[in-house]
């Protein structure tokens, strides 16, 4: 009995069921599709001897329990995505003057950030993608550091601003595209302006994984609004998607070739990429029996609990690998990561609490335009990152989410204040004698 084959069949059946139920791809079943692809690649690459989990027959003696736990966890963690809908957003504030000023200011910041990242990209091209990747992985910093304080500010703080606000801008441009309040080419340009920092940041980091996550972000926003788009616009997005996908694939291959040359590897770039996307599930079974100690949140939320504990990411990896007796830097799925962090029972308690809090206090309510994009976007990120097992490790994303929601609520209060003042002004005018 090959556990990896059974695992791949289970996800294929699950995706087929969701596709039959919804009759189309949506925000929910696209995540199931990605899990299915990873499961199939896990089986195929292991059989071909590409994976680093021992022999090609690994699946025949792999433990079954972790794969059952993972399947249950995927069903649990993705369930809130079934409720994602553009119908729940209050879009009355789209024409608010304060919101328009926010959009104009944000577009200005995005243009500056894109220019800085594009300049950084030209320098990375000269030094090589491999050097950029190793600099991020081993030293936790960019291969390019600016001496100019203005450039450095937009490279760091500007990047955080973009990360915190771009879901709002994407939603805004999609709605304006649907409402036809702004010309189509301006909306598309605005969307490209929003996504380009992610793409450039991925290239500057020499990371093919970041390019993949950027592609999933694009699909996330598209499928939220897909049923509201006209056939002509859908066709345009389809052609644009094919072009962008081929371009991103080309760069992903270039990144892998560069990294192979730097490591003197004789592996084909295509073989390494297949192993990359196929390794989470084989790794899950491989490390299941290795874990001896659990950090209980200290690893997941280290940047909040112990922000100065490590000098670089390599020191952090070595510390937690020694502490847990498992390779924490390997891809191992969302349940695998939660299992390492909290133990068998603790992993389910943790994942259940995450889903419960979102369903109880977030997904069951209707939200204003400001907050909705942040909530759903970052939950979607949890599910997508969870395919590889890093859904909760980057506590920085939780901090950015918090900052973004605070900013959104602040904008909402300003909008309400402006609306109240306009209402009072109108009342005052109506009450003047002779008017």
Of the candidate ranges 55-59, 127-131, 240-244, 281-285, the one whose mean pLDDT is the lowest: 127-131
Please give the residue that has the higher pLDDT: either 131 or 204: 204
Instruction: Determine the pLDDT at residue 261.
Output: 66
CA–CA separation, 338 and 346 (whole Å): 8
Residue 199 phi, psi dihedral angles, 5° rounding: -65, -45
Residue 394, class by beta-carbon neighbours within 10 Å (0-12 exposed, 13-18 middle, 19+ buried)? middle
> How many Å apart are CA 99 and CA 85, to the nearest integer?
22
pLDDT category of residue 392 using cuts at 50, 70 and 90: low
Q: Tell me, what's the pLDDT at 177?
A: 86
328-384 pLDDT tens trace = 888 889 999 999 999 999 999 999 988 887 777 666 655 555 556 667 787 888 888
Band (pLDDT 50/70/90 cuts) for residue 425 is low
Q: Any idea which of 134-143, 270-279, 354-363, 424-433 has the lowest mean pLDDT?
A: 424-433
Q: How large is the average pLDDT for residues 119-146?
A: 68
* More confident call, 192 vs 241: 192
Asked if pLDDT for residue 38 goes beyond 80, the answer is: yes
Q: Residues 44-84: pLDDT tens digits?
A: 999 988 887 777 888 888 999 999 999 999 999 999 888 77
Tokens 């608010």 identify what position?
Answer: 96
Q: What is the pLDDT of residue 272?
A: 79
Mean pLDDT over 88-108 rounds to 75
β partners of residue 89: 367
Of 305, 302, 304, 330, the C-alpha closest to 316 is 302
**Whether the predicted pLDDT of 394 surpasses 70:** no
How open is the CA angle 214-46-394, to the nearest 5 degrees? 35
**How many whole angstroms separate alpha carbon 355 and alpha carbon 375?**
13
pLDDT band at residue 143 under the 50/70/90 scheme: low
Q: Across all residues in the chain, what is the average pLDDT?
A: 80
The pLDDT tens digits of the residues spanning 73-96 come to: 999 999 988 877 666 665 565 666
Rounded to an integer, what distance in angstroms lies between the CA atom of residue 376 and that of residue 246? 27
Residue 264's SS3 state is coil
pLDDT confidence of 429, banded at 50, 70, 90? very low
Q: How far apart are CA 78 and CA 82, in angstroms?
A: 8
| Least confident piece of the model among 108-112, 219-223, 394-398 | 394-398
Banded model confidence at residue 430, pLDDT cuts 50, 70, 90: very low
* pLDDT top residue among 241 and 38: 38
Range in 137-146, 281-290, 405-414 with the lowest mean pLDDT: 137-146
What is the value of pTM for the model shown?
Answer: 0.84
pLDDT of residue 220 exceeding 70, the answer is yes
Q: Residue 90: phi, psi to the nearest 5?
A: -85, 110
- Whether 257 and 270 have beta carbons less than 8 Å apart is answered as no
- pLDDT, residue 281, reads 93
What CA–CA distance (Å, rounded) separates 295 from 346?
11
41 pLDDT more than 90: yes
Which residues, listed in sequence order, are joined to residue 367 by a DSSP beta bridge? Answer: 89
Query: What is the structure's pLDDT at 417?
Result: 67
Distances (CA, A) of 339 to 32, 107, 221, 256, 391: 21, 42, 31, 30, 13
Encode 146-182: b = buried (16+ Cβ within 10 Å), e = exposed: beeeebeebbeebbebbbbbbbbbbbbbbbbbbeeee
Query: Is residue 43 very low, low, confident or very high in pLDDT (cuts 50, 70, 90)?
Result: very high
Residues in the chain: 435
Mean of the pLDDT values across residues 141-168?
A: 72
Residue 431: which pLDDT band, with cuts at 50, 70 and 90?
very low
List, for residues 287-319, the tens digit of each pLDDT value: 898 999 999 988 887 777 776 777 777 788 889
Looking at residue 433, the DSSP 8-state letter turns out to be T
Q: Mean pLDDT, to the nearest integer, of 102-113?
A: 90
Tell me the two tokens of residue 188.
């598309």
> What is the Cα–Cα distance from 80 to 413, expressed in whole angstroms?
28
Give the whole-number percent of the chain exceeding pLDDT 90. 23
Of residues 98 and 234, more confidence is placed in 234
Helices (H), 263-370: 269-278, 280-287, 302-305, 313-324, 333-358
For residues 337 and 134, which has the higher predicted lDDT (pLDDT)? 337
């Amino acid at each position: 009995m090959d556990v990896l084959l059974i695992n791949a069949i289970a996800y294929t059946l699950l995706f087929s069921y969701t596709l039959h139920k919804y009759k189309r791809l949506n925000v929910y079943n696209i995540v199931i599709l990605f899990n299915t692809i990873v499961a199939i690649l896990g089986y195929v690459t292991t059989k071909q001897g590409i994976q680093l989990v021992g022999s090609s027959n690994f699946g025949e003696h792999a433990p079954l329990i972790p794969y059952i736990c993972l399947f249950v966890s995927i069903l649990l963690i993705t369930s809130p995505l079934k409720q994602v809908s553009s119908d729940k957003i209050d879009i009355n504030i789209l024409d608010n003057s304060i919101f328009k000023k926010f959009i104009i200011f944000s577009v200005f910041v995005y243009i500056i950030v894109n220019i800085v990242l594009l300049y950084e990209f030209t320098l990375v091209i000269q030094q090589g993608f491999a050097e950029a990747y190793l600099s991020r992985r081993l030293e936790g910093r960019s291969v390019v550091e600016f001496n100019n304080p203005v450039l450095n500010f937009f490279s760091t703080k500007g990047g955080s601003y973009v990360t915190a606000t771009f879901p709002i801008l994407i939603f805004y441009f999609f709605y304006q595209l649907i409402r036809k309040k702004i010309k189509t080419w301006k909306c598309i340009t605005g969307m490209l302006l929003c996504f380009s920092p992610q793409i450039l940041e991925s290239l500057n980091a020499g990371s093919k994984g970041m390019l993949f996550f950027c592609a999933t972000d694009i699909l996330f926003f598209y499928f939220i609004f897909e049923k509201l788009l006209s056939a002509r616009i859908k066709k345009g997005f389809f052609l644009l998607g094919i072009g962008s996908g081929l371009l991103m694939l080309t760069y992903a291959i270039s990144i892998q070739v560069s990294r192979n040359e730097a490591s003197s590897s004789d592996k084909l770039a295509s073989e390494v990429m297949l192993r990359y996307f196929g390794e989470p599930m084989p790794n899950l079974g491989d490390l299941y029996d290795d874990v001896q100690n659990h950090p209980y949140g200290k690893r997941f939320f280290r940047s909040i609990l112990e922000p100065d504990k490590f000098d670089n990411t390599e020191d952090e990896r070595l510390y937690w690998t020694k502490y847990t007796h498992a390779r924490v830097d390997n891809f191992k799925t969302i349940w695998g990561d939660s299992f390492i962090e909290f133990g068998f029972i603790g992993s389910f308690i943790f994942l259940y609490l995450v889903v419960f809090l979102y369903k109880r206090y977030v997904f069951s309510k209707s939200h204003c335009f400001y907050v909705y994009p942040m909530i759903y976007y970052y939950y979607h990120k949890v599910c997508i990152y969870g395919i590889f097992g890093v859904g909760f490790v980057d506590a920085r994303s939780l901090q950015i989410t918090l900052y973004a929601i605070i900013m959104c609520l602040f904008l909402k209060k300003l909008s309400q204040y402006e609306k109240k003042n306009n209402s009072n002004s109108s009342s005052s005018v109506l009450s003047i004698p002779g008017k």
